[in-house]
Amino acid sequence: MQLFLNQFAAQLPADVHAAVVLDGAGWHASQKLVVPDNVTLVPLPPYAPELNPVERLWLHLRERFFSHCVFAGYRAIIDTCSAAWNSLSPEQLRSLTAFPWIPQVSS
Of 26, 20, 28, 24, whose CA–CA distance to 2 is shortest? 28
Q: What is the pLDDT of residue 106?
A: 56
Average pLDDT of the residues in 51-62 = 84
pTM of the shown model: 0.53
Taking 70 as the threshold, does the pLDDT of residue 105 lie above it?
no
**What's the pLDDT tens digit per position in 4-53?**
999 999 999 999 999 888 877 777 778 888 999 999 988 888 777 777 77
Beta bridge partners of 22: 43
Q: Which of 38-47, 71-80, 83-92 has the lowest mean pLDDT?
A: 38-47
Beta bridge partners of 21: 42
Overall residue count recorded for the chain in this entry: 107
d(CA 71, CA 57): 21
